[in-house]
Structure 1
């Protein structure tokens, strides 16, 4: 049974996780950013799959997405594994100079002269640990909101300060990459 209403989703202003039922969760961050997550069990393991953010993805659309993934699971298909395969195929098409990682490293080289050693190391460590394994090989022009949510969702509820910093760092790298002729939009 569904518990959330469109009015509640629109008006909720308290950080937390709100269950709609059957694995659909609305997560509201401390900055009141609202994102949809589909939680499911497969092979005795819990998986959280980022669906998108509100209002870009409405309650109705989030429910339809979750239903689509429930059908996949019923057929024995792991949605997270399928998404990972699709992203790996997407990443394999990337050229080295156009990847997120290359752009991030270029950004760090360009700006690190004005940073402290500690700040430089924090950038390197957070990107290496959380970002590069997920989107480091993606073409910079193909990184989308779902990709960024895939980076942030696992850490958002555990270490929100780090998640906010990583989100900001990703945004800075993407913004800097827009002005370079390396992206093929």
Structure 2
């Protein structure tokens, strides 16, 4: 016989729990302490199971019956309501931060250290505070956009786009592991302010290059920074590759620096032929930093490389603004001048470690053109000496005039 509200209110707790049945598996469980719980008893695949439907009076008789009918329909459709509730609870515990940390742990084996550190910084700084504790399957596109807008308000539009890219990768990992159904970042296509592409400032005029080299020779900063400044135009590698150089990678007898693929942008090992001038600078530096892992260790700790901004900061102290010359600009300087001197474009691109889309051609270049690149790098170093001397002559003429 079905229960009534009067019967429920009149029921008194006893020394032992009692059950007040309403029908179709629904009953009210009255505990000795007075607590009253709605429960639904059902059979699924031949096994008896129970499902809690809430506490009376927060859950009224009418609402308890509605929940019972919902559960009965689920059973009729071959769905176990207890298992479904458990899965929903587990899904709520699968937060964005939990998935992101799993993804980052996998990326630590694939990404270059600087790239990994930036990915972790973007997620922990901009996404975790707002969305980290949210179940990943419940996060909406507007929520993600609001988090990215915070980055845009700082004027760092490229960081906003890169953060969105990392969030998308986390979502796709969650989809692959069965903990999300779709990547909501794709819904934000066109929602962020576009990135304004700017080229790294670089000096390419021969006379101006000579003046820059003379200024570097006169720089009175830390010896490690001075050495890095002098080697930047001779090697023209990416700033991150230069500052993270390790002594174990450099063979001064063979005049080569072999950079592991893990630190290269294109993820392939790279050989930098060392001109005589570069070897001389390294030999002078070795007594100072040779006991460190890094060729250019941080001033604060020999276990870390020099600051990411060290070379740019030195250029600013020399009077070169960010719109005039940057650490990355030494690559453009070498590329422009070497092309003007009619060195083969393949040699220049190979030495710049740019990607070669034709894999067969790329393999041929890597295996056969090292001798040619050694000649080019020595000729380039000699050319820089000529430009430096020319700048000195011009300076002396101006002083005498």
> What TM-score comes out, normalization by structure 1 length?
0.49
Structure number with greater CO (CA < 8 Å, separation at least 6) is 1
Q: Which has the larger radius of gyration?
A: 2
> What TM-score comes out, normalization by structure 2 length?
0.23
